[in-house]
Structures are given as structure tokens and as C-alpha cells.
Homo-oligomer: A and B are copies of this chain.
Amino acid sequence: MKARVHVMLKNGVLDPQGDAVRHALGTLGFDGVNGVRQGKVIDLDLADGTSEETIRDMCEKLLANTVIESYSVEIA
């Protein structure tokens, strides 16, 4: 089975990487870019029957720093 995890910085946490992308898009002539947030996407190829709870456990223990990051799990 496949699962996709998104890890994003929480709202209110500064995202300098996203700001750099926004600035670079402006420099390249793309107008109207009001904000950019950059995060990670992690595609997991797991043994069949792995529970969403297990995947959330992976996020809590390794994939996300829950102090500053939030995560979401999609099972495909």
C-alpha cells in the first residue's frame, strides 16, 4: 500500500525558504504571488494493512517536528 504524508510548517512559524521562492518568482516576472509556503512530501510504500495510526506514529516520532510542523496523512 502507498501513503503520502505532507509536512508543513505551522501557521505563524516563519518560512524563509517559502519567502525566498516568493521573492525569486517576483524577480522572474511572475506578479500576483501573495504568499508561498514550502513543505515536505513523503511517499511511503508500506506493507499491506499498515494502519493510519502506525503512519501517524511515524510522523510523531520521525517525519515531523510537531513543535513547529503539522502533518497530514493520505492513504492511497
Contacts and interface: CB of A to CB of B under 8 A. Distances in A.
Interface size for chain A: under 10, 10 to 19, 20 to 34, or 35 or more residues?
A: 20 to 34
Q: How many copies does the complex hold?
A: 2
A33 B8 contact: no
Interface string A41-58: 111111100100010011
Contacts of A50: 32
Nearest to A57: B30
A67 interface: no
B24 A47 contact: no
Interface of A: 6, 8, 18, 21, 24-25, 28, 30-47, 50, 54, 57-58, 61-63
Given A21-B63, A28-B61, 4 more contacts: A25-B62, A32-B46, A33-B47, A38-B42
